[in-house]
Structure 1
């Protein structure tokens, strides 16, 4: 019997004439966690779709051995029957159904006659929650009653209920808080101790280093190296991923800050489902020409709601006033905002950033289609030239501008959304989680682009849940907590501890005085 639970040998996958995977090998032992690392578009998701049966046997070349025997899966059902379960980056839950119903979806326990045996499903769901150290979850409640971290654990419970022997986790922590990530990593360690093998895909390399035994790196569809984690550090992983050393992740802040471009006054947002609750409570701020204003805060603090209201994209009732260059402006809709020179790259690119039915190129030129309109037709040649220029400038990895944008990796979709908004030639650019799901090499590129845009005089507002990112890029940092402005600090010797203290209102007097003193102060 093989010492490896799974062996992938010489895997080749082609899309048209393009080789997305070119002879990849991967081996995993029972109880081993392998970190699969690579830049956006390297082929990680394609390889896992082959392993999990999304791409059936016959649509790719090579061989997969499961417990030493050939595995020829024709569907996800076949791989799940074998014990291979994938947890996708986008959670596959039905919000209105209960925790238990989600766990047993497609594998329900039934009574004679076909009726569902709810008591048995509740008992088993409660067992799984205890196994995951989450005994307080009420499995009879709709899953939408719980936050992202709890929902991620429900996905893991679904996998365990399917008796997973190999668990594939694709960016499992992208929307989790630090405490939720700690719980997730502990659960993975517990699963390893029970003999469950894992493939962990994440651009958060500190997590990879903590939980993985082995690191396998692929670049441009080719296998680069497989190395025990004990022989690596984060810097060496990065070098293998990008093929070069990244000497400075964050560029120097050497741009000039000018006059106030945008003021948001008394912004208040009411909860969509509970209109009596304020998600943002009377927040005012300003941003200057050439300034990078970071917005930090804990998950649920109201950061996204605040910038969405300023841009005209908040779906619920909201109040307040927006001024540009001193004059009150109408930003009631995104279209009105874009025409004023106020643009936004949204947090959720899948639902709010891209149009999935359109090509890469069509998504990029959406905000400036009028430039190519010639009476009743579009000048396709002129549009294509702009598209190709933007693909080159943003280094979007795509086989063709005519490819559906859903065929791109998440990071390359993000670059396309950013290109779309930059084509509108904004005066103020809002970036909500601009590097979520983006690899470390692309992150460095985006940081350099942000810095260059600021040097050109663009006012930038950046929301990020990564404090290191906020402090590494911003000239000034707003701190939001429970919908209120808790601090407004020049980024001079500012630390993560100081930001967190303001976020939880540990020193409200200091945060309040800082907000008053610095609300429109230019960065030094």
Structure 2
């Protein structure tokens, strides 16, 4: 008799005749954490949507055995009733409702008269959070009161309130700080110890190594390998994911760096909700032609606010001067920034980078529609020729340029956003967390693209929370701490992660 809680056998799934899954297997035991690894577009999320009945029985091929019995669910409600609960990469909480209301949404306890029993709901939510070692969270407060990391933990509590036997975590730490990641991993370990099984999907292979018992690797919709994590070192997992050796994840290439082309002088950003607080305080720097300038700092340091102000996208009051080729620019909106040759890939692609229901190709050309317009009409032949070139350049995996971009994996959505911002042929390209939620293969392609662009004379500003990435790619590193510029380092043999972190946490007055 099988000792597996879940067995997925030979799963197939097609979209418009294109196979997204081609005979994939997955097995999970009670209390086991399986790391599911693969590049963007490999089929990981599609596979989990099959399992959780987002794609109902009959729309896919193969067999699912749950507790040794065939599972033929037609809705998420059915899979949740069986004990299979998925936590998506994008949080599914309602900010205005309380923590307790979010946890029991649609399953609220009722009084004898049929009204919601708020007292019981709050007590049940508080007990659940205490059992999960999350008793510090006030269940009566709105979810919006808590930061993203805490909200991710609330999502897990919501899942466990549904009596989850198998918890699916899809990129759960993509927007978490290091300390929040440690809390989440500890929570998963606790769940495993109490018999809850997990499927953990992440591009951060060090997390897979830390939490998974076994690893399943898929590539291009096909099963590649499975095995104990102890027998699958990270380089081997990467090789299986991408189908080639990637011993150097940061393909640093020599390139000429010229004179200063861009300057930011005295940039100051006030907090939109509290104008007496400065999110960015009098930051100045220069950017050279053909240079990759990395911006490092702790979460909340003001990095995103700084680059958003440069791009005319900051939501609060801000001041300072921006110069291109020595000429002062007046940038009051992203449209004006693009017109001046400054483009930006935002940190939150879902909220700021894409139009979800619009086709992949149309998302790419949004920034240059005027180029294809004549007498008020769009020349579709020219537009689609440009779209084809852009898709080929970044190897965006899509069944069709007309497919809604929301159907693409996160990494391919990111490639499309980068393509959109390359269409205007900018002089300065700002990349805010360009590889967040992107697999190692796509990261490598983005890095190669960055070096190709600076060789052509473009200048790049890259914000990243990953210090190895900052040091592996940048020519020079700015360090921001509490809104202040705390370091400007040439990225040579003397620069270390320790120097960057020390600068990030040391106030400028002390550093001086």
Which sections of structure 1, spanning at least 5 residues, go unmatched?
A: 513-524
The alpha carbon displacement at 1:124 in A equals: 2.0
Structure 1 match to 2:237: 237
Equivalent-residue separation in structure 2 for 1:276 and 1:57 (angstroms) = 56
Displacement of 1:22: 0.8
Partner Cα distance (1:369, 1:187) in 2: 48
Asked if structure 2 preserves the Cα contact closer than 8 Å seen for 1:294 and 1:477, the reply is yes
Q: Provide the residue aligned with 1:298 in structure 2.
A: 298
| 1:55 paired residue number | 55
Cα deviation code 1:153-174 (max 9, x no counterpart): 0000001111100000000000
How far the C-alpha of 1:133 sits from its partner, in A, is 2.2
Give the equivalent residue in structure 1 for 2:21. 21
Matched residue count: 511
Return the alpha-carbon distance in structure 2 between the equivalents of residues 121 and 144 of structure 1: 19
2:235–2:247 contact (8 Å) kept in structure 1: no
Deviations 1:22-81 (A, max 9, x none): 111111100011111101000000000011111111111111111011111111111111
Q: Distance in 1 between matches of 2:58 and 2:274?
A: 51
Answer with 499-508 or 74-83: which moved more. 499-508
1:88–1:170 Cα contact (<8 Å) kept: yes
Contact 1:502 1:508 (C-alpha < 8 Å) held by counterparts:
no
Contact 1:267 1:282 in 2 (8 A): yes
Residue number in structure 1 paired with 2:504? 503
Show the counterpart of 2:140: 140
CA contact (8 A) 2:219 2:241 kept: yes
Supply the distance in 1 between the matched residues of 2:37 and 2:509 (Cα, whole angstroms).
Answer: 42
Contact 2:484 2:508 in 1 (8 A): no
| Counterpart for residue 474 of structure 1 | 474
Task: Note if 1:6 corresponds to 2:6.
Answer: yes
3-state secondary structure, aligned to 1:19: strand
Counterpart-to-counterpart distance in 2, 1:415 and 1:509: 41
Q: CA deviation at 1:463?
A: 0.4
Pairwise CA distance, 1:507: 7.5
The runs of 5 or more residues in structure 2 that have no matched partner are none
Q: Distance in 1 between matches of 2:187 and 2:81?
A: 23
Deviations 1:383-431 (A, max 9, x none): 1111111111111111111111111111011111111111111000000
Q: Give the superposition deviation at 1:307.
A: 0.4
Query: Cα RMSD over matched residues?
Result: 1.3
Which moves more between the two structures, 458-467 or 280-289?
A: 280-289
Find runs of 4+ consecutive structure 1 residues off by over 4 angstroms. Answer: none
Residue 326 (structure 2) aligns with: 326
Q: Would you say the 8 A contact 1:132–1:153 is kept in 2?
A: no
Tell me the alpha carbon deviations over residues 286-337 of structure 1, each in whole angstroms, 9 at most, x when there is no partner.
Answer: 2111111111111111111110011001112222211111111011100000
Partner of 1:346: 346
Please name the residue that 1:457 is paired with: 457
Q: CA deviation at 1:109?
A: 1.4
Secondary structure of the corresponding residue to residue 207 of structure 1: helix
CA distance in structure 1 between the aligned counterparts of 2:116 and 2:504, rounded to whole angstroms: 46
Q: Is the 8 A contact 2:367 2:420 kept in 1?
A: yes
* CA contact 1:280–1:305 (8 Å) conserved in 2: yes
- TM-score normalised by length of structure 2: 0.97
**8 Å CA contact 2:478, 2:489 repeated in 1:** yes
- Structure 1 CA distance, aligned partners of 2:425 and 2:104? 49
Q: What residue in structure 1 maps to residue 416 of structure 2? A: 416
- The 5 A counterparts of 1:300-315 are 300-315=300-315
Compute the displacement of 1:476 (Å): 1.0
* In structure 2, C-alpha distance between the alignment counterparts of 1:500 and 1:348, rounded to whole Å: 24
Q: Residue 486 of structure 2 contacts residue 508 of structure 2 at CA under 8 Å; is this kept in 1? A: no
User: C-alpha offsets along residues 186-208 of structure 1, whole Å, 9 cap, x if unaligned?
Assistant: 11111111110000000000000
* Residue-by-residue CA offset, 1:431-475 (whole Å, 9 max, x unaligned): 000001111011011111111211211111000111110111111
The answer for the alignment partner of 1:188 in structure 2 is 188
Aligned to 1:114: 114
Tell whether 2:355 aligns with 1:355.
yes
In the alignment, the residues of structure 1 paired with residue 378 and residue 42 of structure 2 have an alpha-carbon distance, to the nearest angstrom, of 34
Query: Residue 150 of structure 1 aligns to a residue in which SS?
Result: helix
Inter-partner Cα distance in structure 2 for 1:475 and 1:17: 45
Partner Cα separation in structure 1 for residue 259 and residue 395 of structure 2: 32
Q: How does 1:266-281 map to 2 (within 5 A)?
A: 266-281=266-281
| Residue in structure 1 matched with residue 441 of structure 2 by the alignment | 441
